[in-house]
Amino acid sequence: MNIFQYDKTFEGFLSLVFESFSLKVIPNRIEDLEASEPYLWMEKYRITTNPDKSNRVWNALKNKLGHEASFAVFRIHLAGIAEMEMVLFRYVCKALASKQSISDNFADPDVLAITKFDKKVCREAQRMLEFVRFQKTGDGIFFCSMDPEYNILPLIINHFETRFADQQWLLYDFKRNYGFYYNLEKTSQITMQLDSVNKHTGKVNKDILAEEEVLFQDLWKQYFKSTCIEERKNKCLQMQHMPKRYWKYLTEKQS
């Protein structure tokens, strides 16, 4: 049994693929450098992240898969789900070994698994575009905290930069404890204490909200109620499109 350990960065992952090819050793398990004690009968490989090697793998991958599918590899790695690492590793190896692109060979179980998982990640990112609710603070920053199932924040920043170019905003993933702050010029990654935010509802304490904020939240709640057609009530359908786990952050769903 072989364990490959690496630093969890995407470059690290690509370096790991490189090492596996050059050592001709295939990992049975992939884990964090700081992971638990290895078992005695396991061979442990500590992979050093190497920009040169990772670049070579990345270029080869882009060549084989094209832009869309190679970006999916990045996206899936970014999502940060440990169980997907071995599948992704096998997928990348198959992609590199094959003459034609494997990304549409859905009869291959790894290709299908990757395609399906990628869909889930994109869906979660999409849902954040839908369900982010900014609260305006007294100093004019539009704030939203969230806990997406996958690590998708970097994937959606672009959308917010384009759309809300003339307002300061801060998106925070408190599950992974980091966020992005846009100051009207550029966006930077930040880590901060969220003392004035209720972790369970994402609500910002009233005393630091902008004066008019509560009014607009109430207007939005009113709109949400008034736009519903009573004769067509269908909570099941609502739940299907807007699963309960997002409700806690939705202004319109808070009493």
Q: Tell me the closest approach of the beta carbon of residue 35 to another protein, in angstroms.
A: 32
Among 36, 230, 244, 255, binds another protein (CB under 8 A): 230
Q: Which of 124, 16, 129, 140 is nearest to 75 (CA)?
A: 124
**Contact track, another protein, 123-142, x by CB under 8 A:** ---x--xxxxxxxx-----x
Cβ 174 vs Cβ 145: under 8 Å: yes
Cβ 101 vs Cβ 108: under 8 Å: no
Report the residue number, 26 or 165, with the smaller CB distance to another protein: 165
Among 21, 45, 71, 164, binds another protein (CB under 8 A): 164
Segment interacting with another protein (CB under 8 A) among 4-12, 69-77, 122-130, 172-180: 122-130
Q: Tell me the closest approach of the beta carbon of residue 241 to another protein, in angstroms.
A: 5
Q: Which of 255, 251, 242 is nearest to 220 (CA)?
A: 251
Beta strand pairing call for 168-173 and 2-6:
unpaired
Q: Give the burial class of 117: count Cβ atoms within 10 A of its Cβ; 0-12 exposed, 13-18 middle, 19 or more buried.
A: buried
251 binds another protein (CB under 8 A): yes
Report the residue number, 9 or 234, with the smaller CB distance to another protein: 234
Among 66, 97, 223, 245, binds another protein (CB under 8 A): 223
DSSP-based three-state secondary structure for 171: strand
Considering only residues 165-204, where is the footprint of another protein by CB under 8 A? 165-167
# binding residues, another protein (CB under 8 A): 52
22 binds another protein (CB under 8 A): no
Considering only residues 80-119, where is the footprint of another protein by CB under 8 A? 104-107, 112
Cβ 181 vs Cβ 143: under 8 Å: no
User: CA 171, CA 146: separation in Å to the nearest integer?
Assistant: 8
211 binds another protein (CB under 8 A): no
Q: Tell me the closest approach of the beta carbon of residue 156 to another protein, in angstroms.
A: 11
Residue with tokens 């992971």, as numbered in its chain: 35
224 binds another protein (CB under 8 A): yes
User: CA 67, CA 48: separation in Å to the nearest integer?
Assistant: 26
DSSP-based three-state secondary structure for 83: coil
Q: Tell me the closest approach of the beta carbon of residue 137 to another protein, in angstroms.
A: 12
232 binds another protein (CB under 8 A): yes
Q: Tell me the closest approach of the beta carbon of residue 63 to another protein, in angstroms.
A: 19
Cβ 43 vs Cβ 75: under 8 Å: no
22 φ, ψ to 5°? -75, -30
- Residues counted in the chain: 255
- Residues lying near another protein in the complex (CB under 8 A): 104-107, 112, 126, 129-136, 142, 144, 159, 162-167, 212, 215-216, 218-220, 222-238, 240-242, 250-252
